């Protein structure tokens, strides 16, 4: 039996508008999502029985949590059910998650991990990557999971489970910064106050990172104030990113606490990351980029 590998890229919400609220309490979103060149990794290999292992620099954040509650295992069980396979016990494979991204951080780590697991298991079970059952299972796992299946630039609509293609973005160098503190998404939505804003899709595909930053400056993240209220460190992160030389834009991703800065080139992003880490060695600071043509999900 073959060994399969999948990359689970970090996603960033370039902007996130709260456009309304449904009767069931879920918020309606308009958000432009892009994927980066950094993320977690997942490996599937033969084993005597099913097992799930987490390793890597951020594995400690998941230590002690029930295996059954991890989105990777839930994805495996959900896809088995959808394909008519026994969900318990699951087929004899070993899934190893290399956790590089901070947890509960607004960059879709768990969602991207689940999507990677669906792609891996689909390949292992001989199911096409475009099989609608993958997307159905993804939607049942969380609002960010469906967009992570393809991991390409898209707009999140309604409560996030519905996506539409986004514009072709230019290569954009970024720096991701997290204060190494988790920020649960439900708490941020609960703390949100204020009204709603209309959708604000980009008028056209930006030519370069500078034009992208200019276009995003007219938009925002409707969860920032709530996140800062719960975790004031987020405001500090945004302030320090904005103060770095050549920063084109500083913004929070998703419900936080990870924030990002856009930069005109790789040298500026690396310099900013170095300065930020020197000032705050207790933070998670990583230079990265949004590729022009995203081909980040090969299994």
The pLDDT tens digits for 241-262 are: 999 999 999 999 999 999 999 9
| Statement: residue 237 has pLDDT above 80 | yes
Mean pLDDT of 59-67: 90
Distance CA 245, CA 34 (A): 24
Whether 10 and 47 share a structural domain: yes
Q: Answer whether residue 210 is part of any domain.
A: yes
Whether 220 and 189 share a structural domain: yes
Q: Which residue has the tokens 């992208």?
A: 212
Whether 142 and 186 share a structural domain: no
Q: Answer whether residue 297 is part of any domain.
A: no
Q: Answer whether residue 245 is part of any domain.
A: yes
Q: 60-64, 114-118, 168-172: which range is least confident on average?
A: 60-64
Whether 130 and 23 share a structural domain: yes
Among residues 141, 165, 189, which one ends one of the domains? 165
- The values of phi and psi at residue 283, to 5°, are -90, 160
Mean pLDDT of 56-85: 94
Whether 160 and 181 share a structural domain: no
Mean pLDDT of 251-280: 98
| Statement: residue 280 has pLDDT above 70 | yes
Mean pLDDT of 67-90: 93
Q: What is the CATH number of the domain that holds 270?
A: 3.30.70.890
pLDDT of residue 293: 58
Assign 129 a pLDDT band (cuts: 50, 70, 90).
Answer: confident
pLDDT of residue 1: 62
Q: Answer whether residue 296 is part of any domain.
A: no
Whether 188 and 214 share a structural domain: yes
Mean pLDDT of 106-110: 94
Whether 67 and 177 share a structural domain: no
As a three-state string, the secondary structure of 216-248 is: HHCCCECCHHHHHHHCCHHHHHHHHHHCCCCCC
Please choose, from the candidates 102, 141, 121, the residue with its C-alpha nearest in 3D space to the C-alpha of residue 5: 121
Q: Answer whether residue 70 is part of any domain.
A: yes
Whether 124 and 177 share a structural domain: no
| Statement: residue 297 has pLDDT above 60 | no
pLDDT of 142-165, one tens digit each?
A: 888 999 999 999 999 887 778 899
Whether the CB-CB separation of 221 and 260 falls below 8 Å is answered with no
pLDDT of residue 296: 40
Whether 20 and 133 share a structural domain: yes
Q: Answer whether residue 74 is part of any domain.
A: yes
Please choose, from the candidates 14, 12, 16, the residue with its C-alpha nearest in 3D space to the C-alpha of residue 226: 16
The rounded percent of the chain whose pLDDT value lies above 70 is: 97
The rounded percent of the chain whose pLDDT value lies above 90 is: 85
pLDDT of 115-128, one tens digit each?
A: 999 999 999 999 99
Whether 196 and 155 share a structural domain: no
Q: Answer whether residue 76 is part of any domain.
A: yes
Domain extent for 130: 4-165
pTM of the predicted structure, to 2 decimals: 0.93
Distance CA 299, CA 284 (A): 27
Give the contacts of 1 (CB within 8 A, at least 6 positions apart). Answer: 45, 46, 124
Residue 143: DSSP 8-state: T
Cα of 174 vs its chain's centroid, Å: 15
**Which residues on neighbouring strands pair with residue 132, listed in sequence order?**
none
Instruction: Provide the number of structural domains found in the chain.
Output: 2
Whether 149 and 218 share a structural domain: no
Mean pLDDT of 47-56: 95
pLDDT of residue 2: 82
Tell me if residue 293 falls in helix, strand or coil. Answer: coil
Cα of 153 vs its chain's centroid, Å: 12
Tell me the catalytic residues: 11, 144
Mean pLDDT of 184-210: 94
Among residues 165, 192, 216, which one ends one of the domains? 165
pLDDT of residue 299: 34
Among residues 96, 131, 165, which one ends one of the domains? 165
| Statement: residue 135 has pLDDT above 60 | yes
Q: Answer whether residue 176 is part of any domain.
A: yes
Q: Which residue has the tokens 């022009």?
A: 292
**Helical residues (DSSP H) of the chain, grouped into ranges:** 71-82, 109-124, 132-141, 145-150, 185-191, 209-217, 224-230, 233-242, 266-279
User: How confident is the prediction for the chain on average, in pLDDT?
Assistant: 93
Whether 188 and 267 share a structural domain: yes
Q: What is the CATH number of the domain that holds 111?
A: 3.30.230.10
């Amino acid at each position: 039996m073959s060994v399969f590998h999948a990359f689970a890229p970090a996603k960033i919400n370039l902007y996130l508008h709260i456009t309304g609220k449904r009767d069931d309490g879920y918020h309606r979103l308009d958000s432009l999502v892009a994927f980066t060149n950094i993320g977690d990794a997942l490996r599937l290999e033969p084993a005597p029985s099913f097992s799930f292992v987490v390793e890597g620099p951020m594995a400690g954040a998941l230590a002690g949590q029930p295996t059954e509650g991890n989105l990777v295992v839930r994805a495996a069980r959900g896809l088995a059910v959808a394909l008519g396979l026994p969900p318990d016990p699951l087929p004899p494979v070993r899934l190893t998650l290399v956790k590089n991204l901070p947890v509960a951080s607004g960059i879709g780590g768990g969602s991207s991990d689940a999507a990677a697991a669906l792609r891996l298991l689909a390949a292992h079970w001989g199911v096409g990557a475009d099989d609608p059952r993958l997307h159905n299972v993804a939607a049942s796992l969380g609002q960010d999971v469906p967009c992570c299946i393809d991991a390409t630039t898209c707009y999140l609509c309604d409560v996030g489970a519905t996506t539409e293609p986004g514009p072709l973005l230019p290569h954009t160098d970024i720096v991701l910064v997290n204060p190494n503190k988790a920020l649960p998404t439900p708490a941020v939505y609960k703390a949100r106050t204020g009204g709603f804003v209309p959708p604000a899709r980009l008028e056209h595909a930006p030519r370069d990172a500078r034009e992208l930053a200019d276009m995003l400056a007219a938009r925002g993240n409707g969860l920032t104030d709530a996140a800062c209220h719960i975790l004031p460190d987020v405001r500090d992160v945004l302030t320090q990113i904005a103060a770095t030389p050549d920063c084109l834009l500083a913004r929070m991703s998703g419900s936080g606490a990870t924030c990002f800065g856009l930069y005109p080139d790789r040298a500026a992003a690396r310099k900013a990351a170095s300065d930020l880490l020197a000032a705050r060695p207790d933070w998670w600071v990583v230079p990265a980029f949004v590729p022009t043509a995203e081909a980040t999900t090969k299994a």
